[in-house]
Amino acid sequence: MLNGALPMHVLFIPSWYPAQSDDIAGSFFREQALALQGHGMQIGVITPAFRSLTRWRAIRGGYGFDAENDNGLHTLRYHGVRAFSWSHAMNIRFWERTGLRAFDDYQRRVGRPDVLHVHAMIFGLAWAAAIHREHGIPFVVTEHSSEFVRSPVRIPLLNYLTNQVSQAHRAFAVSSSLGKVLDFQVPLREGRTWEVMPNMVSSRFGLSTRNPFYQNGRGAPLRLLSVGSMDNNKGVHHLLRAMFLAIGAGENCLLRVCGSGPQLAALKALRFELGLDNRVEFLGHCSREQVSEEMLNATALVVSSSNETFGVVVVEALLSGRPVLSTRCGGPEDIIVEGRDGYLVDKDSPAALSAGLRRLASELDHFDPQDIRQRCIERFSDSAFASRHAQVYSAIMASTSKPAEA
């Protein structure tokens, strides 16, 4: 129960989810569910865990339901193979049927939820809309996926999503930039627009109060951190060239990069080409705990992406009291308050990133780590996140409840 709100039972339907508690894929969905549970709500999860037939090993693996009690979070995964990806109509029918089966199993085990909450429409929306039609349970949608920004979504699927999301009581995007894309691609009915509901940050970030800014005195290297998959969208190649330009202009900076991916070998070759072997260290895949520790050892986080729908790593840095230099790539523009949290620069431009690095080095003493952290808590903590969601769920429950009979 939160701030006097009635007890509520919310069923999360994320389109992807961790296979186990230490799996990083979809880990923020799990953290959000646990956060809401920790603030007095009953939260459950049903999620698809399908494998694509485009991978030859897809036929091997689990089938059917896998139930788990994850620290009190009732989680039901439905395993199988996406057999009809080549046919939109057959694929949708397959998803809707499996969603109803998953819900029936969940309701038998746990009970009937008050509200469904879809996280990412492709294909969790098919599950929620089918459950809504069959059982009359209201649902909410929060869209997180960069797929709408980075790659064209097929027209039949967009038409299907537009039709199904019209049944949602509320529809949110995690940033205003993603909301504008969705207003065009998946418009809501009756002149409504996609609202903004930001993500939260895990409370484990920023638990230490140590401040590295001046540990080694003035003139110490600017210790930079980059976190993300090693692909072209993350723009690490632009960041390496920006480092080269900044060092050539006299700046003393070091960079540690957390992440793995298809461009890692090419990025290491570029590091050698630019003569940055002693300045840039690639750490490979980092656990959430490793990222938290790296945040505390860094002077600042750098985001060099072309597109980000939100930017959880930005909020994690702010909660750690670290300023952020980010490109104007979407989500971070909703998060970073210029001059207090860090700076925003043009994307896809090593020169702009380099200028931002030089400004960061020269104005580092303008940032107050405690101020950065406190304002982040006020906006993005699990308490703030839970309060926003409790208000949404309570309003929906109030608007859909039937008046008592005389």
- What is the domain partition of the chain in residue ranges? 9-200+381-400, 222-379
Does residue 207 or residue 105 have the better pLDDT? 105
Helices (H), 284-339: 288-297, 312-319, 332-335
Q: What is the mean pLDDT of the chain?
A: 89
- Which residue type sits at 66? D
Q: Is the dihedral of CA 104, 110, 111, 113 positive or negative?
A: negative
Task: Please give the pLDDT value at position 58.
Answer: 42
Question: In which band, very low, low, confident or very high, does the pLDDT at 83 lie, cut at 50, 70 and 90?
Answer: low
Q: Is pLDDT above 50 for 329? A: yes
The mean pLDDT value for 10-18 works out to 95
Q: Cα–Cα distances in Å, from 286 out to 73, 200, 312?
A: 25, 20, 15
Task: Please give the pLDDT value at position 24.
Answer: 73
Question: In which band, very low, low, confident or very high, does the pLDDT at 81 lie, cut at 50, 70 and 90?
Answer: confident
Question: In which band, very low, low, confident or very high, does the pLDDT at 394 lie, cut at 50, 70 and 90?
Answer: very high
The mean pLDDT value for 66-81 works out to 90
Residue identified by tokens 């529809």 is 171
The mean pLDDT value for 314-330 works out to 96
Q: In CATH, what number does 9-200+381-400 get?
A: 3.40.50.2000
Q: Is pLDDT above 90 for 288? A: no
Question: In which band, very low, low, confident or very high, does the pLDDT at 404 lie, cut at 50, 70 and 90?
Answer: very low
Distance CA 336, CA 343 (A): 7
Task: Please give the pLDDT value at position 204.
Answer: 66
Q: Is pLDDT above 90 for 77? A: yes
Task: Please give the pLDDT value at position 79.
Answer: 86
The top-level CATH class assigned to 222-379 is: alpha beta
> How large a percentage of the chain has pLDDT more than 70?
88
pTM of the model: 0.87
Q: What is the DSSP letter of 338?
A: B
Q: What is the DSSP letter of 86?
A: T
Q: Which of 123, 131, 110 is nearest to 48 (CA)?
A: 123
Q: Is pLDDT above 50 for 215? A: no
Read off the pLDDT of residues 139-162 as tens digits, 9 standing for 90 and up. Answer: 999 999 988 988 788 899 999 999
Does residue 162 or residue 50 have the better pLDDT? 162
Beta-bridged to residue 50, according to DSSP, are 80
Q: Is pLDDT above 90 for 341? A: yes
> How large a percentage of the chain has pLDDT more than 90?
75
Q: Are 40 and 71 in contact (CB under 8 A)?
A: no
218 Cβ neighbours under 8 A, 6+ residues apart: none
Least confident of 7-21, 240-254, 256-270, 291-305: 7-21
Q: Is pLDDT above 50 for 405? A: no
The mean pLDDT value for 12-26 works out to 83
Least confident of 12-21, 200-209, 321-330: 200-209
The mean pLDDT value for 50-59 works out to 54
Q: Which of 325, 329, 326, 334 is nearest to 380 (CA)?
A: 334
Task: Please give the pLDDT value at position 50.
Answer: 73
Q: Is pLDDT above 70 for 172? A: yes
